[in-house]
Chain A
């Protein structure tokens, strides 16, 4: 099979609408092919626009450029045509995929929140671990139902509605009204969904530690000791779980944020502050986090306790510095802070 060549996007252009159009298409393209596809699309569209200018005998007006881009297609539709063809869901695959991407973090979040709430409100309905174990099941159910619904819709569109263009009402002139988007370099995570899932796992870990203190250790050493969580875990459990849940909520809101870059950045800073406070609650009292009841001499246990506490203190310092740095980066953003849709996730 031929390896496709890649080419960075280049075209400097006098056509005011072309770059915003390409940027809009690029938002829905896979990262590893984006520049290559946009460079090719840009070169082809530029040629088409120049030919149109020659034909008309004057530079293209904005309305004429808009007409050409409208004929070319809505950016979302155009980008979706570069996706591989699928059997189960055809014309609606793009919207289906977009829905899954947007909704999955929220579903994870709500499933966690509801199961946590149920575990506290009605403990007789099952242990906390059992309830949290239901989250993947809820997620799987959501994917299955969404897929079935879209497969049905797709069947309906193909068999009853015909080849309709779902985005026929799109107006390219709107591209010019969008403001330049400051980028949240180093503030937003590069893969927000992965980051959110990692946070959910971290929350799961914290919730699990009082029940399975051995989780404080990773690796083969864990099975050598008989470990019990100290009272601080039980005392701080509720505030720490609440803080980590808040962090999850803040990040999920930031992913779907249509607010300014600065506001979105502040959501990430607030999420980081939740981590800092959670760590501080655990570390600052200076109490041991666990006791080893068998198998280790007292000096060794003291050494392990000291090592873990030192590690957590370093983590607290690093998290505080990261939050401060992100706050500084966010406040340096010059984007509008009036709620205009200018946030960009990396």
Chain B
């Protein structure tokens, strides 16, 4: 059955879809350095990627279960915190994802550039 969604909702749904894959890549990239949940969220936000806490923290758990992250409970500022870091398997997966992302972005740039030329003509 074909369904026609209102345009803003289509856009919102596609944006979410686009973001979802990029978030994993961003988290893996940021966790080349050790972070705990809150500082990771701040680090991502400082670089322009806002992420809901209730999305980020379960995502860290999932990535750890998949073996892409390792974690360790440690005390910092008199408080026990769970620190995450990219595992060896995670680093390998990250390399692959990054290569894919770079390929996709450069292809997209070429497509956008050629569309711009066509539009100008």
Contact = CB atoms under 8 A, between A and B. Distances in A.
A39 B12 CA distance: 33
Given A44-B57, A159-B3, A7 B69 contact: no
A286 B48 CA distance: 81
Contacts of A4: 61, 64-65, 71
Interface in A4-37: 4-5, 7, 10-11, 37
B58 A160 contact: no
A82 interface: yes
A90 B24 CA distance: 19
Size band of the A side of the interface? 20 to 34
Contacts of A41: 57
A261 B116 CA distance: 69
B72 to A, nearest CB: 7
A2 to B, nearest CB: 5
A39 B58 CA distance: 13
B20 to A, nearest CB: 11
Contacts of A160: 3, 5
Nearest to B87: A2
B58 A82 contact: yes
Contacts of A48: 38, 53
Contact of B12 (A45, A47, A162): A162
Contacts of B58: 81-82
B16 A81 contact: no
A77 interface: yes
A253 interface: no
Given A2-B70, A11-B79, A44 B65 contact: no
Contacts of B38: 43-44, 47-48
A43 B37 CA distance: 9
A40 B57 contact: yes
Contacts of B81: 40, 43-44
B38 to A, nearest CB: 4
A7 B71 CA distance: 12
Contacts of B57: 40-41, 44
Given A162-B13, A163-B16, A43 B79 contact: yes
Chain A CB within 10 Å, residue with most, of B12, B41, B81, B87: B81
Nearest to A68: B53
B15 to A, nearest CB: 10
Interface string B40-69: 011000000000111101100110111101
A242 interface: no
A168 interface: no
A7 B73 contact: yes
Contacts of B36: 43-44
B54 A43 contact: no
Nearest to A161: B9
A289 interface: no
A7 B83 CA distance: 12
Contacts of A11: 79
Nearest to B63: A2
A7 B80 contact: yes
Interface string A82-95: 10010000000000
A78 interface: yes
Given A43-B82, A47-B38, A48-B38, A2 B67 contact: yes
Interface in B60-111: 61-62, 64-67, 69-73, 79-82, 87
7 contacts: A1-B65, A2-B67, A5-B82, A39-B82, A47-B39, A162-B9, A162-B13
Ranked nearest first, the 4 interchain pairs of A and B with the lowest CB-CB distance are A81-B58, A73-B54, A47-B38, A44-B37
Interface of B: 3, 5, 9, 12-13, 16, 36-39, 41-42, 52-55, 57-58, 61-62, 64-67, 69-73, 79-82, 87
Interface of A: 1-2, 4-5, 7, 10-11, 37, 39-41, 43-48, 51, 72-73, 77-78, 81-82, 85, 159-160, 162-163
